[in-house]
Amino acid sequence: MKVLMFGWEFPPHISGGLGTACLGLTKAMINIGEEILFVMPKINGEAVSDDLFHLMGASDVEVTRSRREMLRDVSPETIRFLEVDSTLRPYLNEVTYQTWLKEQVNYNESVVEARYEDQKIGKFEFSGVYGPQLMDEVARYALVAAQLAGQEQFDVIHAHDWMTYVAGVEAKKISGKKLVCHIHATEFDRSGEHPNTEIFEIEKYGLQNADRVLAVSHRTRDIVIRCYDLDPAKVHVVHNAVSKDVTVQRAQVKRNLDEKIVLFLGRVTGQKGPDYFVQAARKVVDQVPNVRFVMAGSGDLWPRMVERIARERLQKHFHFTGFLRGSDVEDMFAMSDVYVMPSVSEPFGITPFEAVLYGTPVIISKQSGIAEIFENAEKVDFWDVDRLTESIVNLLTDEEYANNMAINATRELELINWDGAANKVAAHYKEVTA
Amino acid sequence: MIDVCFYFQVHQPFRLRRDYNFFKIGQDRVYFDEYLNRDIMQRVATRCYLPANRMMLDLIKQHNMKFRLSYSISGTAVEQFKLYAPEVIDSFQKLVDTGCVELINETYYHSLASCHDEKEFIAQVQKHRDLMKDTFGYEPTAFRNTELIYNNQLAEQVENMGYKVMLTEGANQILGWRTPNFCYMPANCYKLKLLLRNYRLSDDIAFRFSNAGCPEYPITVDKYIGWLKQVAGNGEVVNLFMDYETFGEHQRKETGIFDFMKELPGAILGEDDFAFKTPTEVATTQQAMSKIDVPYDISWADVERDLTAWIGNPLQDSAMEFLGDLKEQVLASKDDGIIESWRKLQTSDHFYYMCTKWFSDGDVHKYFNPYRSPHDAYVVYCNILNDIEESLKLQKG
């Protein structure tokens, strides 16, 4: 089957797990014989094209017709699936309801039209980053998608996360092909109780217009059914896996310090629970002084975490590396003795798998998708700092226990790979296009 | 008679490598950004130190030794002159040789040692004395502390160390209704004179000279003389204290700052009642008008004129504590490399980079800050202290 796939990140252009997951899944899909045209906003360097895999930058695509022209050739039935959004919301009084009505950006056909109709034709610029121009880029990307849908041959459309959902829907409108929306993270995971309404609306627009929704965990499936008002029958789970290209071995990595290292690696943002890691660090250091904590990553909470460490006077035990790339990530995993993922809300969370690849035992929060399938890990509630502390101390002080956990985790991981996920996705393609 | 007393601060810190990350701890003992430090030193030497020194020398000759001025040159600046711009040392030497230039003593490392470590403070002052003697053949009799940080106890200590005069800020909170334009004496002292910076007239040159947003812009020699003359009748000395980098660096050549300074001494000497004196000359010719009580710390920084630019936020306090924790081990190590690095880490600039109060003085802070954020500054600083700690462990075996 030939797949028109839309993704915002693809290595090496990544800011987090989304790109890693896209790469792992795509590679495995190709291995089982699916053909993929992967469209990302911008690629630095040459477009890739071989038998089964074509990587393309939206910035290289020439849009030759206005959206109106493109849609003119499409039969009205194709567009009719577009839903009219309900403006009913509970718990609003008459005043807030009026305000809400004014402020709300509901994604429906008329908004998409108003927003994208005026765009010029030609090639568009993309930064491909999550910057202030993101919403504009999302819109331009959708225009490119429409163009590609008209000129490329394919059997199904697959869109990863909200940035590409409008693109997916546009491609569906033009081509009449089925749309699979893959959800790696919802706005509720990223922002807790205070979602960005525009992003939420785009997610809802994409998911409601999808013919099939693939969630990375049961946890995420539950969230999308509940919060986006989806028919449970079309939402399915495909758990993530991990790519096993390891170039650094634990035994060979140069350790610059004698103390054991406890690692947090991820975006330093509320979703990932960095503050619980810091709280646990304080408690662990009081019990096991010869230990160092490392927070690898950057994010909006980073300055606050640095100040917190300073206030706790943990300057001899807590280090910040900033955002790590390439072999630094591998070194960091391989140097660590405990990996902690204290996420408050984690749709899946691939990093614990990565830590295990380097022989590092892991502690994961129960509020993560990975906890649904991974047995050989310590599992704690993200908020339970005392349990987290206890788990870290156990892994630091009981070498046999830590070794066994790492060994068992490694064995378990041997059975988890992207091929499994790819087979499931391929089956969904078949079902949805049948 | 009104004495105009110029003192210029000459200082450059040894800036740290901003790429000193976690992986370098225990691996890499090169802490200072040689390229950045050399670039900055050579740039400032070309734009400021060399042309400004030439100008001052010409002015002294032109006015038959009646133009007199003083400098405080930090040890870290002198070291970097020797490394990257040795001609600057020669040009200062020529100025000193005229006899019209006084050199002021400070802490060698331009440090905050007076705030937390008396012994270390005394050691660094002595080291700076030795440096002035060895480099310029000069024995200072005036003292100024880093950033003009000052309080009663410090004054007492400085008096005990034998100095004749000390310099600090004419901060509103210590002066109240009084003017900075007299010679004063610290509350607990009997001999030491105190000169207070006239911050309005100093900042007219140092900060406001090229600021088109100021109501008095452009500041001309005529206007400036007018302001100086207002002191007559209620003052005997006008202390104009500022960074030397004002000339050509903070205020670029294009602003006309050099032309202004070339004219100013002639215009001042053209007025009947005005003369130039260096700090010790003021202290030995003038009586102290009254005692000044400063029970808490003041400095010349920011609108608050306190220590909050360097001390008090969690980043600064944690870094300072770490630095202090290592003291005994560092000194006991007898390893010159480690001791020297540890002392260079005491330079106040490192703490200034960690300042998080970006309000009215944020612009000034940003101008001098090589880091993207105070948190970055803290992370690098602590990484380096951690490496020093590792080096000490290694040494002990």
- Name which of B104, B155, B114 is nearest B291 in CA terms: B155
Q: What is the pLDDT of residue A86?
A: 39
In angstroms, the Cα distances linking B45 to A248, B74, B93 are 47, 15, 15
Whether chain B has a CB inside 8 Å of the CB on A315: the answer is: yes
User: Residue range A155-162: average pLDDT?
Assistant: 96
CA distance A159 to A143: 15
In chain A, residues with a C-beta closer than 8 Å to the C-beta of B26 are 256-257
CA distance B246 to B209: 9
Across-strand partners of B194?
A: B166, B184
Contact between B318 and A313 using a beta-carbon 8 Å cutoff:
yes
Partner residue opposite B26 with nearest CB, options A257, A302, A313: A257
Show the CA angle centred on residue A422, arms to residues A146 and A367, nearest 5°.
95
Query: Is pLDDT of A112 > 70?
Result: no
Residue A429 amino acid letter = Y
Domain residue ranges of chain B, discontinuous segments joined by +: 2-292, 314-396
In eight-state DSSP terms, residue A80 is T
In the predicted model, residues of chain B with pLDDT beneath 50 are 359-360
Distance from CA of A250 to the nearest CA of B (A): 16
Range(s) for CATH 3.40.50.2000 in chain A?
Answer: 2-241+420-433, 260-414
Task: Name the active-site residue from B79, B120, B147, B245.
Answer: B147
In angstroms, the Cα distances linking A51 to A48, A54, A157, B252 are 10, 8, 19, 62
Residues 67-106 of A with CB under 8 A from B: none
**Helix (H), strand (E) at residue A379:** strand A378-380
Across-strand partners of B82?
A: none
Cβ-Cβ pairs closer than 8 A, A with B, add up to: 58
Distance from CA of B95 to the nearest CA of A (A): 45
**Helix (H), strand (E) at residue A424:** helix A418-433
CA distance B284 to B235: 17
Q: What is the pLDDT of residue B363?
A: 57
Contact between A306 and B322 using a beta-carbon 8 Å cutoff:
no
CA nearest to A328 within chain B: B23
Q: What is the pLDDT of residue A194?
A: 84
In chain A, residues with a C-beta closer than 8 Å to the C-beta of B322 are 315-316
CA distance A98 to A384: 41
In angstroms, the Cα distances linking B317 to A110, A327, A378, B13 are 57, 34, 36, 20
More confident residue, A365 or A201: A365
CA distance A349 to A242: 10
Residue A238, classed as helix, strand or coil, is coil
Q: What is the pLDDT of residue A203?
A: 94
For the stretch A12-58, pLDDT in tens is 776 667 888 999 999 999 999 999 999 998 887 777 788 889 999 88
CATH match of A2-241+420-433 with 3.40.50.2000: yes
In chain A, residues with a C-beta closer than 8 Å to the C-beta of B379 are 306, 319-320, 322
Partner residue opposite B22 with nearest CB, options A302, A311, A319: A319
CA nearest to A295 within chain B: B22
- Confidence class for position A90, pLDDT limits 50, 70, 90: very low
Contact between A303 and B26 using a beta-carbon 8 Å cutoff:
no
Query: Is pLDDT of A141 > 50?
Result: yes
Q: Which of B24, B379, B390, B394 to mutate to test the interface with A (most CBs of A within 10 A)?
A: B379
- Confidence class for position A129, pLDDT limits 50, 70, 90: confident
A152-161, A191-200, B120-129, B161-170: the lowest-pLDDT one: A191-200
Q: What is the pLDDT of residue A414?
A: 94
Distance from CA of A312 to the nearest CA of B (A): 8
A95: number of Cβ within 10 Å = 8
Contact between B319 and A315 using a beta-carbon 8 Å cutoff:
yes
Distance from CA of A340 to the nearest CA of B (A): 18
More confident residue, B203 or A128: B203
* Domain spanning A260-414, CATH class: alpha beta
Residues 285-304 of A with CB under 8 A from B: 294, 302-303
Residues 158-197 of A with CB under 8 A from B: none
CA distance A45 to B12: 43
CATH match of B2-292 with 3.40.1030.10: no
Partner residue opposite A316 with nearest CB, options B23, B313, B322: B322
Chain-wide mean pLDDT for chain A? 88
Annotated catalytic residue B281: no
Q: What is the pLDDT of residue A140?
A: 85
CA distance A297 to A342: 14
Contact between A310 and B383 using a beta-carbon 8 Å cutoff:
no
Q: Provide the CA B355 distance to its chain's centre, in angstroms.
A: 18
Partner residue opposite A306 with nearest CB, options B25, B375, B386: B375
Residue A338, classed as helix, strand or coil, is strand
Q: What is the pLDDT of residue A132?
A: 72
Q: How many helices (H) and strands (E) does chain A have?
A: 17, 14
**Helix (H), strand (E) at residue A351:** helix A351-357
CA distance B84 to B198: 34
